[in-house]
Amino acid sequence: MIIPKLKKLKSKKEYHKIELKDDYSWVDQPNILEVLKDPNILLPDVKKYIEENNQITENYFTDVKNFQKKLFDEIKSKIKLDDTSLKFKDKKYYYWTKTEAQGNYGKNMRQLIDSSKPEEIFFDGDLEKEKCGSEYFGLGGISVSHCDKYMAYSLDLKGSEYFTIHLRNLGNGKNERDIIENTSGSIAWSLDSKSFFYSKLDKFHRPRQIYKHVVGTPVNGDELIFEEKDETFTCGISLTSDEKFFIISTSDHITTEEYYFPSQTNTIKPILFQKRETNIRYSVDSWKGYFYIHTNKDARDYKILKCKIDNINKLEEFIPSKKETVIGELEFLDNFMIRGEKSDAIPKLFVRNIKTNKEEEIKISDEAIGCPGVSLMQKNKNTTKIRVSWESMASPNKIYEYDILTKEKKLVKEVEIPSGHNPDKYVIERIKAKSHDGRMIPISLVRLKNSKQDGKSKILLYAYGAYKHSISPSFSASRFCLIDRGITFAIAHIRGGGDLGDTWHEEGKKKLKKNTFLDYVACANHLIDQRYTYKGGICFYGGSAGGLTGGAVINIAPELFFSALLLVPFVDTLTTMLNEKLPLTPAEWELWGNPIKSKEYFEYILSYSPYNNLKKTSYPSMLITTSLFDNRVLYSEPIKYIARLRDIKDDNNTQLLKCKMKAAGHGGMSGRDNAIKELAEEYSFILKTANILN
């Protein structure tokens, strides 16, 4: 196998009197954001390198093509292809979605509540994709007007997340002339259904302006109702639970500021709720004459305040903060409030009686570790019934109709696994690993009940560890393609994520970012010590910021792994944080630090950035993926990473790069079959490197 070489052009840049050398900096072409819209301007040498690597990857999988087909069929057999969601009762219509065995995209359905007319498909994803004639079909959102006459929907046809809003008259099924390009994809209708609000993207792909569009009028006449001046903040708009107000929320990763204006007003003048304070996040909702404020001010893991709508300066505590417990937001009924909270990475549901102010937990399952959920059944809030759900790493999702007063529950939907699934075959465990500083890191895992804990098994240890994002111990049918072949599936709830609250997140960002990586290594070593696996028996699996985690831990302890999958990985961290013109960079300085202004942050990011810390050692087999159209992690990062990895490493293992040159986004290609195909390929890589090909 001839490994392609990417040309080197010596480059030296100086930051804070520190010289930064990068032989592949030329790959970060100055007009790189334009490639997201037009791949024809990709540098020829980069295009050639991608094509050569894609061919190598294709050749690598030649001997497992039949196995991939087997995995594809196996994964698909675990999905109920012809399925229908539960119906939501709106004012005039029931609304629901369904999928069909022959399709790749869902259908949005509705029917008049009185059944005077047959059910109708008002948005058919497969049909719409066919009309567009595009390879990629990304649906940003579908929003039906309050009068049920119009549907606004947004599409991204490349994967670069530039969404175009279209408007359709549901009476005749025809599209109007209203077409709005370069939006974030979100849509919020006015109550009179004569207009809607949307967020416009600036030249750096950041939504910092909110416009009002009046149906049937030229787009160039749309009214600008809000503009965020700070380039690190982005904004959006939504309607409150009681539909009395619109809320404009503008924020970066750590700070929020919100404005409101009456939903019935003709003259829009947003009113500031609370001025932004660094590190203070809050969100506002309204219900029955009160604003409810979900905030982390003086409450690291949030509390809920309330105030009368006509006196926003007189706040009172409604739900207090709890130590090491994340307090969730509220869902409103006329006489009840439902909320969630989470401690030790285990979520719970609570319901509060508004009249008595008494609160109790809604318990759905006897399983100790799992994921409860809640949703409303109807628009009318004068009800005691809701839908609650439960799933675990071993048990598929079950949805119950639950009566808050009587506590009676009726199973109304269960995720079906057509090929069969028996939860009793598996065991779920929650264990903890001691990290370098004494912090105990939770690990959730699922494995075959009859598997031996003898230190001979292989394990897939998934991780993310950023953006305060929590990894739930939820169910995934496809994972059992690995588990049933003897691989334990585990989640490391490492710092940087939000599994254990804000402190957990804070201890894994900026100058504490290395805790994220050391936590993962501690989890891996604990699994080895407890004989779940052995040194060299672990597969890393993660994407995006999780790919940064993977790249960093493989540099720290490559001997732990037999293989690693870095999917759209954020591996050239320093270069990205030094480029303030990229879509996400300015807002992300609050997470990683600003290496442009700070020498300390420059040196700290440099000390862990996977690309900059590759070394002459033996690396495991790796599969690295990217896409030309990914605006979140640009294709240049994985390309530079694998080129430098091959320059430095001293092993004979196979490290592969696969770059999608046809339309695909940060999450891969669109469509159900494409998603399954990608997953089958990833699983075939894991199983091939694990020498499990049955």
pLDDT digits (tens, 9 = 90+) for 431-444: 999 999 999 999 99
Checking if the pLDDT of 669 tops 80, the result is no
Domain span at residue 327 reads 323-415
% of the chain residues with pLDDT over 70: 99
DSSP tally for the chain: helices H, then strands E: 13, 39
Query: What is the pLDDT of the chain when averaged over all its residues?
Result: 95
Residue 203 lies in a domain: no
The count of domains in the chain is: 2
Checking if the pLDDT of 665 tops 80, the result is no
Q: What is the CATH number of the domain that holds 522?
A: 3.40.50.1820
pLDDT digits (tens, 9 = 90+) for 167-185: 999 999 999 999 999 999 9
Rounded to 5 degrees, what are φ and ψ at 256?
A: -125, 150
Segment 326-331 shows an average pLDDT of 94
CA distance 74 to 78: 7
Read off the pTM.
Answer: 0.91
β pairing state of 655-660 and 271-274? unpaired
Residue 24 lies in a domain: yes
Final residue belonging to a domain, choices 388, 415, 442: 415
Note whether 478 and 534 are same-domain residues.
yes
Note whether 373 and 473 are same-domain residues.
no
Locate tokens 């699922």: which residue? 446
Q: Which amino acid is at 564?
A: A
Residue 72 lies in a domain: yes
Assigned token pair, 355: 């009249």
Note whether 440 and 562 are same-domain residues.
yes
Helix/strand/coil (H, E, C) string of 19-76?
EEECCCHHHCCCCHHHHCCCHHHCCHHHHHHHHHHHHHHHHHCHHHHHHHHHHHHHHH
* Least confident window among 209-213, 354-358, 457-461: 354-358
CA distance 625 to 634: 11
**271 falls in which pLDDT band (50, 70, 90)?**
very high
Residue 58 lies in a domain: yes
Q: Which amino acid is at 294?
A: H
484: Cβ–Cβ under 8 A, 6 or more apart, which residues?
448
Checking if the pLDDT of 494 tops 80, the result is yes
Residue 335 lies in a domain: yes
Segment 304-317 shows an average pLDDT of 96
Note whether 490 and 636 are same-domain residues.
yes
**34 falls in which pLDDT band (50, 70, 90)?**
confident
Note whether 373 and 489 are same-domain residues.
no
158: Cβ–Cβ under 8 A, 6 or more apart, which residues?
36, 37, 134, 136, 629, 663, 665
Note whether 520 and 434 are same-domain residues.
yes
Assigned token pair, 442: 């939770």
Note whether 377 and 503 are same-domain residues.
no
Final residue belonging to a domain, choices 368, 393, 415: 415
Note whether 523 and 437 are same-domain residues.
yes
CA distance 467 to 639: 24
User: Cα–Cα distances in Å, from 290 out to 92, 245, 268, 283, 644?
Assistant: 28, 12, 21, 14, 58
Checking if the pLDDT of 636 tops 90, the result is yes
297: Cβ–Cβ under 8 A, 6 or more apart, which residues?
277, 280, 282
Final residue belonging to a domain, choices 371, 398, 415: 415
Note whether 362 and 489 are same-domain residues.
no
pLDDT of amino acid 37: 82
* Least confident window among 3-17, 208-222, 651-665: 651-665
**534 falls in which pLDDT band (50, 70, 90)?**
very high
Note whether 411 and 428 are same-domain residues.
no
Assigned token pair, 49: 């390198």
**634 falls in which pLDDT band (50, 70, 90)?**
very high
pLDDT of amino acid 654: 96
pLDDT of amino acid 368: 82
pLDDT of amino acid 668: 72
pLDDT of amino acid 631: 80
Note whether 428 and 458 are same-domain residues.
yes
Note whether 406 and 466 are same-domain residues.
no
Segment 248-269 shows an average pLDDT of 95
User: Cα–Cα distances in Å, from 316 out to 247, 294, 301?
Assistant: 21, 12, 18
